[in-house]
Amino acid sequence: MINLMPDDAKKEIRSARANVVLARYIVVILLAFGFLVLLLAGSYVVLTQTKLSAEQLIQANDNKADVYNTTKAQVDGLATSLSEARNILDQEVLYSKVLMNIGQQMPAGTVLENITLDTASFAGTPVTIKAFAKTTNDAVTLREKFQGAPIFSNVNFNSVADSAGIPGYPVSVSMTLVVTKAASL
């Protein structure tokens, strides 16, 4: 078959076919654009609904939390009271333990006559101890034992007298020392 159509008609038919293909592409693009617009609108609606439900949940939780504010205030007050009590207990000194620790440091041949302890004694204030010993060597041993003990620091003789003691312990000793916090543990 021989095509006897004029060239202008052929061009117009080719252009018409191209126009139909372009029109189809335009329709497909418009449908895709419409689909995307619907998808975005649907996402916006879903996100708006999610936001509203989250805000309602937050409001409901805030209302529930308001109910517990008085309880929370009571718990906070109790925690404060307990921390104050803890601070007081941490500062407590068991003098019986202190005296036992001092007694354990006493060497044979020595006895205590006088010791005065108060809260300032554990804050670095020097304490004067009066003791009696059988011999001068026992008095020196007492000082060395106290110097080596972790419960004392700054141990020094004030005086040592050979004839000012009590029966059986003729040497009188006066010492100054600092009692550490470890003495009450």
Per-residue model confidence as pLDDT tens digits over 104-148: 999 999 999 988 888 788 888 899 999 999 998 999 999 999 999
Nearest Cα to Cα of residue 139 among 166, 162, 168: 162
Question: What's residue 93's pLDDT?
Answer: 75
Positive or negative CA dihedral for 148, 150, 153, 157?
negative
Same domain assignment for residues 161 and 172:
yes
Answer yes or no: do 164 and 126 share one domain. yes
Same domain, 76 and 121: no
Task: Show which of 63, 92, 121 is a domain's final residue.
Answer: 92
SS3 state at 68: helix
Region 84-106: mean pLDDT is: 83
Residue 174 belongs to what H/E stretch? Answer: strand 171-179
| Domain encompassing residue 117 | 95-184
Q: pLDDT tier at 176 (50, 70, 90 boundaries)? A: very high
Q: Binning pLDDT at 50, 70 and 90, where does residue 1 land? A: low
For the chain, the domain total comes to 2
> 135 with 146, same domain?
yes
Whether 142 and 133 have beta carbons less than 8 Å apart is answered as yes
pTM: 0.55
Same domain (yes/no): 56, 136: no
* The pLDDT of residue 132: 93
Cβ-contact 138, 118 below 8 angstroms: no
